[in-house]
């Protein structure tokens, strides 16, 4: 009996020692120091010859006279520039939303419209609950230097609640005895970030109401009216949808309106004012003549970098309308107008098929008149601020999550190449 107990104790000691070795090895591999590089903290002036140290996923030191700790993996930074990781403030990468309801064999028009209403009224849909950490789209984003995204539910109407998530969580320590592991938790930085509202000229779902632009606008307004009634009614049936809209009505949760044209922007600001909402304008592009309105409403803007291009199906000699040509020419100039008006803005990919085009089109905004300083802030600290996570992301400061981008060349030069990307302090394999 004694011998058996001794064997058990010895086995337990070996198990503990083995676990300690695994943990120590992992912690050691997560300590890095990038030395002798040009560092752009964003929150302060660039450091021409400095060092960034991060361990366990957190930045531990940044400066010109930083000692590299023992055990850290050193990366020679001569000729390289270190930036905070980029933040894409509008993406569906890694988001596996629930299936859209369908009206199978509807018996009446009311049946069809009820299903469509349930499809368009989904404020209780939380992006954080539907992330796939292993999605290839997240990996591609990380390889392009995008270390965090605002995961945004799609569709029209009251679309759901966005979440700020990392694009990678790395390889976890094996969980001895764990039968299941929900890996979505470590991915999420902040949730919810905003309640999203969208409109379309013709919402999907056939001829059932709403089936026009004015119809979907009326639908969205009625949803907020219903949520107000729900808030005030003393006796009411429970509604998960209307319950989820209460933080927005109370001003505790921003409302992000998808509005690409100046007319849509003004319409969204009017709705925000009517219901005393805290507005964010997303997918924005035509903002030149509404910057004063945006500033007066204290609205933040998430500017789309999915710039319009000439349709490939057009013949080389085919003419395009003046409005189309003007929209294409002016798209890179909008951020400059926002910056001049002191409107806080960030960037979103907004449906770009290739994550590498996110930075490529951000470079075009610099060519379009935006300063490099304003552009890097829009890609980092401005995005983190709008997402309510500036205390954790967006700059190279001690204590923040180690999302780090290392380039050879200036970030806004066309020939610049990405040399290293770290998400949460873990290196990304660049293909």
Are both 339 and 372 inside the same structural domain?
yes
- Residue 343 CA: distances (Å) to CA of 153, 280, 290: 25, 11, 11
Are both 164 and 302 inside the same structural domain?
yes
Query: Looking at residue 58, which CATH number applies to its domain?
Result: 2.30.40.10
**236-242 average pLDDT score:** 91
Residue range 165-190, pLDDT digits in tens: 999 987 544 443 343 344 456 899 99
Q: What distance in Å separates the CA atoms of residue 345 and residue 348, rounded to the nearest whole number?
A: 10
Q: Are 226 and 251 in contact (CB under 8 A)?
A: no
Are both 101 and 242 inside the same structural domain?
yes
Residue range 339-384, pLDDT digits in tens: 999 999 999 998 898 999 999 999 999 999 999 999 999 999 999 9
Are both 107 and 188 inside the same structural domain?
yes
Q: What is the pTM of this model?
A: 0.88
Residues near 19 by beta carbon (within 8 Å), at least 6 away in sequence: 176
Are both 282 and 426 inside the same structural domain?
no
Q: Which domain holds residue 269?
A: 86-393
Q: Using CA atoms in the order 273, 278, 282, 284, what is the torsion angle rounded to 10 degrees?
A: 50
C-alpha 64 chain-centroid distance: 31
Number of domains in the chain: 2
- Return the minimum-mean-pLDDT range out of 30-34, 37-41, 196-200, 301-305: 196-200
Which burial class, exposed, middle or buried, applies to 293 when counting CB atoms under 10 A from its CB (0-12, 13-18, 19+)?
middle
Are both 34 and 166 inside the same structural domain?
no
């Amino acid at each position: 009996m004694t011998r058996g107990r001794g064997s058990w104790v010895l086995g337990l000691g070996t198990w503990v020692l083995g676990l300690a070795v695994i943990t120590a090895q992992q912690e050691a591999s997560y300590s890095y120091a990038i030395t002798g590089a040009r560092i752009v903290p964003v929150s302060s002036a660039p450091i021409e010859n400095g060092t960034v140290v991060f361990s366990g996923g957190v930045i531990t030191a940044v400066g010109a006279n930083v000692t590299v700790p023992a055990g850290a993996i050193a990366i020679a930074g001569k000729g390289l520039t270190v930036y905070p990781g980029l933040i894409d403030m509008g993406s569906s990468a890694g988001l596996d939303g629930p299936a859209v309801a369908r009206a199978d064999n509807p018996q009446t028009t009311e049946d069809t419209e009820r299903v469509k209403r349930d499809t368009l009224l989904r404020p209780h849909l939380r992006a954080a609950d539907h992330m796939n950490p292993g999605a290839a789209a997240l990996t591609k984003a990380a390889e392009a230097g995008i270390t965090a995204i605002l995961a945004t539910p799609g569709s029209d109407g009251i679309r759901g609640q966005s979440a700020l998530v990392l694009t990678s969580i790395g390889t976890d320590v094996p969980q001895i005895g764990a039968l299941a592991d929900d890996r979505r938790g470590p991915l999420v930085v902040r949730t919810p970030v905003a309640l999203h509202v969208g409109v379309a000229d013709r919402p999907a779902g056939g001829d059932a109401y709403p089936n026009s632009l004015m119809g979907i606008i009326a639908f969205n307004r009625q949803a907020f009216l219903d949520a107000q009634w729900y808030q005030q009614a003393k006796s009411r049936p429970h509604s998960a949808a209307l319950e989820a809209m209460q933080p927005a009505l109370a001003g505790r949760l921003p409302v992000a309106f998808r509005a690409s044209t100046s007319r849509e922007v003004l319409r969204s600001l009017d709705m925000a004012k009517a219901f005393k909402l805290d507005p964010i304008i997303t997918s924005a592009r035509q903002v030149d003549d509404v910057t004063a309105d945006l500033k007066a409403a204290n609205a933040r803007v998430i500017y789309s970098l999915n710039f319009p291009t000439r349709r490939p199906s057009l013949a080389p000699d085919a003419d395009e309308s003046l409005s189309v040509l003007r929209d294409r020419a002016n798209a890179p100039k909008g951020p400059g107008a926002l910056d001049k008006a002191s409107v806080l803005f960030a960037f979103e990919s907004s449906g770009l098929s290739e994550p590498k085009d996110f930075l490529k089109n951000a470079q075009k905004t610099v060519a379009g008149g935006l300063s490099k300083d304003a552009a890097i802030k829009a890609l980092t600290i401005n995005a983190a601020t709008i997402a309510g996570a500036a205390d954790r992301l967006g700059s190279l400061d001690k204590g923040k999550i180690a999302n780090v981008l290392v380039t050879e060349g200036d970030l806004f030069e066309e020939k610049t190449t990405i040399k290293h990307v770290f998400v949460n302090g873990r290196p990304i394999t660049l293909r």
